[in-house]
Structure 1
């Protein structure tokens, strides 16, 4: 830090005019820069130049209290954005890993280069103004800097008292807080139809009964060995599920060593009836059964209430195994203990169970691993206390644990345990499992990355880990002064990493190759989305719009390729589909033109018109507690920019594909209903892509009245959701239970039986009008179909993927939307 000038010393609280008594009593250090402090402005406390001084052109006046030099971190990782923040920095004796500090150092160098460039241009301009001769004038663009748009912090902070939840900027839910038009659309839709409110009541009543039943079962579950063995199915069933697990998961996340597992597996079944059968291995098998419970596509799924039977079976297995695992002693840790912890996390995430606790649970496992020293090089343990087999398994488990924890941190928008953590554990060996065993004295040499092995994912994901951790810190810090040039810089880094990924021909590489691709492209969406919304107003950001559409297209293509191969796993593990859909909807809406016509539609109280039923809205709406809504019109595609029109049209088609993909996940697991409603609402808010000479096609194609246009689109969005509920109702395990009977009575037929048509799994034609599939007329129509011997079509088929990582239980969107449809299991 540079010493302060005489002027800054005079302006400081400890200036020459201060009395000795005052100086003696001033013990607290001044954290803000003196320029901001004197102007009584908020300072972000970033060294060497705070954001406010940099933006206002007073970089030369930005000085800090020199006493802060004593606390300046020496490891280069003092703050999230790579610059030092005197409000919250890491202790200097907590060094970061070399890889992470490399990214931080790069960021610091960019900040310094930016400052030096600014000073050099001002100095050159000053010299030219003083000594210029006739005909030599300084350019007006020498010191030009493009204006940076003001970006608001994106977060979701909800709840009351201590029952609150927080989601940071990288969470896809936080994007919705900046999409107020979608909130208005959902209000108008709910006002126009009372069906959803009745369905909500049925779902919530069933949930409450199920929670009470599960709580009662939980009290009876002791987590004993006998309970573990009682849940073990026949060997033939276990054989198929274990084989599926190794084909799908053990090619990316490495938890089990395959030769050792099969050796223990054969021994387990040979002594299954004896008392010396290891309960830990039985628990591993049950977790594997839970993980693979919902991974196989089923043409005709079966539901218990709103959740699928397979998901309910997985829940029972997980809760019993978790109860058993909680009883195990943590003082004497073993390899199987860490394997069970990883399998427990994976089982709950892949079945979308207990997701509100996922970030907390992942953090606990990371801290267990750190406490066991798994983040350090096992060679530091002298005396041969760790075998070569254990060293390799420690390295594999460490990468698996940190990858799961990092993705959970991204989805929740919270900081990772890796932030500022020093770890020097070497990468795992690039070898197949059969290349080493428990008796191996020396690990063989690694194979080239062009040759695929089941450890390839672990090797390659470590190469991008420092950048992803750095971006997570950067994006979730509201004080980060991220400029558009920085976005382009990180875009180039991500693109380079993507281009360096190898292309494997091995069919086992489908899942790891997809993971390596989408875990990088998700950051392209997060980095470019705030600027892509501004592309219509500033052509400088047109590249961001293109980058968002390109990243979304690549993500959807990756999912489609997996579906074609019969792999249906990423929809349960990751959140790419929801993030892609919401990003595309928001970007398209802000880049379209408002439709001409009558006054815009605002969120309004329930209509008193005779054709609209009275809506029994919750108390929060009745008390007018909803904040004023923005003006909302159905937009139309821009006519003056062909590139923007093409991007919007492509994005709408991708949004419809994402909705179909997410729909298949809902119909397989029986969760994510609220998220599906958001997809349907977002599509209803999109402009029409029908080719017509009329400029107001999106309005005229639906209704002749602007207010009715919003509500007619809202009703069509609601029809999609009720159509999905009909399918759930038709596939009940017990059609006469209380939930099915109540839901059946809540919905009435809406169209004649001759017009019944179930949504096709194939892609629909473009255009907002064509995107709305025909609806199922109601429970009566379904019953008539069954009585006539007609099938329900492909109501349960999987031909796409979706994904939802964040639990939206109880989330209100808007405030009175208390659907509670995501499950709180």
Structure 2
């Protein structure tokens, strides 16, 4: 037994073991294998012809000659447990059917723990589909673990006569109609021709929106100097001077960003009006980047407009590629480097103290948005700390920074005072560590061991603890309740943008903890991080569905936009890009933990069945309530204008899965036994109910749009056409749809709908392939 503790002996036994046997290749079509019926191997087969199903066969992997490998190198104990590599398995389109049973492992005399660790290091961590690659930190990689939810969704995909299929089709059509009036198309109007005063209607609302921007987002990214901006606004508003295009662009973008957390009168109409106007700025700025840069375009002002455009695309209703900000952020970074922002101003000659401080703020704002979007897209930030020497910005209020100042400002200690720059300084403090984590997670050659993960996680957890200590100066420096509310929101965002790296760092090992208890600490860290990101209260006291901020989200009626709500909740409801990715990641983590706990201890589920969910263990009950709250948030996102209803349906089905496990004693879990037809019927019913509820919301929004004077299919920005071939066409600006529908009830010939969730290539084994988003490629799964 002593040799079991020595990894050298373990690998030696594995190397001398007999070759593992492989299963015979599948010859039946996917549909017949799913239904477990005999297949005549036709193309199409008779069963698929009778059921009017798509008949496809799995492609067999090409047998390549084995490469000549160098002599094996005995690893040290620190290198036995490694994270996922990126090139050890075929792409997602080719499923490897090799499987090793427990009896085979026992026959070879290899400990289960070693084999599990060895196999986990061979599992691919990047997924390639439709010309895009999703790296290890991309949150959607977790959705591959919802095996049973994806499995039952195949009924919706193959059976075009089912009610669920028709509901999904109807929702898709209504979503296209709603996209029409709000589609961002270039209007060919000049920025100077936009009458901002008529859009905002009053200076009071303008000041309120600007207060939300400067109270939440500007302290994070440090884009604008508030006193200077307010002076320019006064000159524009009261007609003392003619505003230039640069200032109007800044004003439109800041107002649009402010609407993301605005809950005052006419919030929805105000967001729509400002988002359309701000989209012209975004599209104009994108056009600037498509032409050769001139010396007139390379200015600090243009960098500020570009950075504001990236923020607006992620936290407001602007739908110009909010999921692809990482691409534009890379361009902006190189533009800033071309202008010398990566060098500290002391190396650049005679620059005023004010300009030097603003350059530092803008540089770290660009780097911050780059590494955040790097984690969103699962891509490397393509930047190293050795490539800049810009000093951290000073921790001072904007009022203490003037254009004519002659001496540098005195930076205050972070743990004693809270200023308008404290949030950015706190993020800069952990920036090198977070940059390294983003590179280690998504780098092509990254090879992160578990020991390295624990080391990085400890350092990052120390940074999170240091951020939590800022609550003291945050409260002491607040003069009134409004200022305290803003400062606490800044502290929430700082902790969120930092802690999400801790969640991504431990995710891959958390998934391995199901088979190997040695990684259980990572599972605990992921759950703790997800709870804190979602709630920001003590993890044992989550908000109940009856909370004032969440009540209307769990009801069927439309929420009141004038109802005062917490800004953090509003960010969950309206954001896209980075903030949406963070909330989706935390929600998915909690869903997985809930179902996994019910699977591991069926007695807990049975206790909930006998005595009700209220008598379940407190932690399990809180997880259930959080998933329920997240379903309400996703429903609220549809009310707020999001036309992709699949997130709501997915998490509603995940909640139904947990409820079914409670009723039926823990069956039907993430990777568990799915032999109970009652659970399958529960999930199918929940999926159908989710589509019905989403359909009611979309119909209400269409009726509201038509009542407002914008008729579906008749707006000037819409080109009326039938559904036809089912393919979307795009204009030249940012991949914007042009298709709409003239008659939703008319029968049309169309391509089969994409699967709502993952399309399974086999019933027994891991589900491979993309989940329910339409931009995933499913051709490689056959």
TM-score relative to the length of structure 1: 0.61
* 1:264 to 2:222 alignment: no
Query: Over the residues paired in the alignment, what is the CA RMSD in angstroms?
Result: 4.4
Change in 2 beyond 3 A, CA 1:310/1:441: same
Partner of 2:635: 663
Say if 2:53 is the partner of 1:53. Answer: no
**Any idea what SS the aligned residue of 2:452 has?**
helix
Q: Distance in 2 between matches of 1:523 and 1:245?
A: 25
Query: Given that residues 187 and 280 in structure 2 are in contact (C-alpha distance below 8 angstroms), is that contact kept between their aligned partners in structure 1?
Result: no
- Deviation track 1:568-602 (CA, whole Å, cap 9, x = no partner) reads 45421512221012223334445554899xxxxxx
**Structure 1 position 418, deviation (Å):** 2.0
SS of residue in 1 equivalent to 2:371: helix
Q: Which structure has the greater CA radius of gyration? A: 1
Could you tell me how far 1:706 is from its partner in structure 2? 2.0
Shift of 1:705: 8.6
Deviations 1:196-231 (A, max 9, x none): 53344345445556767778x845414353246697
- The 5 Å alignment of 1:727-766 reads 727-731=697-701, 732-734=703-705
Partner of 1:613: none
What is the alpha-carbon distance in structure 1 between the residues aligned to residue 755 and residue 133 of structure 2? Answer: 11
Mapping 1:170-189, distance limit 5 Å: 170-188=137-155
Measure, in 2, the Cα distance between the counterparts of 1:264 and 1:666: 37
Quick one: which of 516, 519, 523 aligns to 1:541?
519
Q: Which consecutive residues of structure 1, in runs of 5 or more, have no partner in the other structure?
A: 1-37, 44-49, 60-79, 86-140, 303-308, 597-633, 742-808
Over 3 Å counting, the alpha-carbon distance change for 1:227 and 1:208 in structure 2 is same
* Alpha-carbon distance in 1 for matches of 2:359, 2:448: 37
How far did residue 425 of structure 1 move? 0.3
SS of match in other structure, 1:157: strand
- 1:709 corresponds in structure 2 to 679
- Residues 251-310 of structure 1: CA distance to partner in whole angstroms, max 9, x if unpaired? 3221111111111111112337x6x432221221111222123422379986xxxxxx55
* Residue number among 676, 688, 693 corresponding to 1:723 in the alignment: 693
CA pair 212-249 structure 1, distance change in 2 beyond 3 A = closer
Q: Within the alignment, does 1:296 sit opposite 2:266 as a pair?
A: no
Q: 1:295–1:569: 8 Å Cα contact kept in structure 2?
A: yes
Aligned partners of 1:482, 1:637: CA distance in 2, in Å? 41
Distance across 1 between alignment mates of 2:77 and 2:413: 51
Query: Bigger shift: 487-496 or 370-379?
Result: 487-496
> Against the structure 1 CA distance between its residues 635 and 393, is the aligned structure 2 distance closer, same or farther, given a 3 Å change threshold?
same
What secondary structure is seen at the aligned counterpart in 2 of 1:166? strand
The C-alpha deviation readout for 1:82-101, integer Å capped at 9, x for no partner, is: x9x9xxxxxxxxxxxxxxxx
Q: Distance in 2 between matches of 1:58 and 1:300?
A: 59
- From 263, 273, 286, give the equivalent of 1:313: 273
C-alpha spacing 1:265/1:535, structure 2 compared with 1 (3 Å): same
Paired residues of 2:527 and 2:589 also in contact (CA < 8 A):
no
1:579 aligns with 2:582: no
Partner of residue 295, structure 2: 331
What is the deviation of 1:638? 12
Q: Tell me the SS of whatever aligns to 1:438.
A: coil
Q: Which residue does 1:447 correspond to in 2?
A: 412
CA displacement 1:93-137 (0-9 Å, x = unmatched): xxxxxxxxxxxxxxxxxxxxxxxxxxxxxxxxxxxxxxxxxxxxx
CA offsets, 1:730-778, max 9 Å, x none?
A: 354245777699xxxxxxxxxxxxxxxxxxxxxxxxxxxxxxxxxxxxx
Residues 566/588 of structure 1: CA separation in 2 closer, same or farther (3 Å cut): closer
- In 2: Cα distance, 1:58 partner to 1:321 partner: 52
Which residue in 1 is equivalent to 2:166? 198
Residue number in structure 2 paired with 1:685: 657
Query: d(CA) in 2 for partners of 1:146 and 1:718?
Result: 38
Once the two structures are superposed, residues 51-102 of structure 1 have per-residue CA deviations (whole angstroms, 9 ceiling, x without a partner) of x73449999xxxxxxxxxxxxxxxxxxxx99x9x9xxxxxxxxxxxxxxxxx
Contiguous gaps of at least 5 residues in structure 2 = 1-64, 88-110, 479-483, 550-564, 610-615, 715-752, 760-769, 777-782
Find out whether 1:250 has 2:218 as its counterpart: yes
Distance change (3 Å), C-alpha of 1:224 and 1:241: closer
Does structure 2 conserve the Cα–Cα contact (< 8 Å) formed by 1:251 and 1:512?
Answer: yes
State the secondary structure of the residue aligned to 2:221. Answer: coil
Moved more, 576-585 or 533-542: 533-542
**Which residue of 1 is the match for residue 401 of structure 2?**
436
1:780 matched to which residue of 2?
A: none
| Aligned mates of 2:132, 2:116 — CA distance in 1 | 37
Q: 1:358 to 1:712 in 2, by over 3 A?
A: same
TM-score, normalisation: structure 2: 0.64
Report which structure shows greater RCO (CA 8 Å, sep ≥6). Answer: 2
Tell me the distance in 1 between the aligned counterparts of 2:675 and 2:506.
36
Q: How does 1:202-217 map to 2 (within 5 A)?
A: 202-206=170-174
Q: Which residues in structure 2 correspond to 1:763-774 (within 5 Å)?
A: none
Deviation at 1:364, TM superposition (A): 1.4
Structure 1 residue 181 displacement after superposition: 3.5
Measure the CA separation in 1 of the matches of 2:621 and 2:644. 26
Contact 1:223/1:325 (<8 A) preserved: no
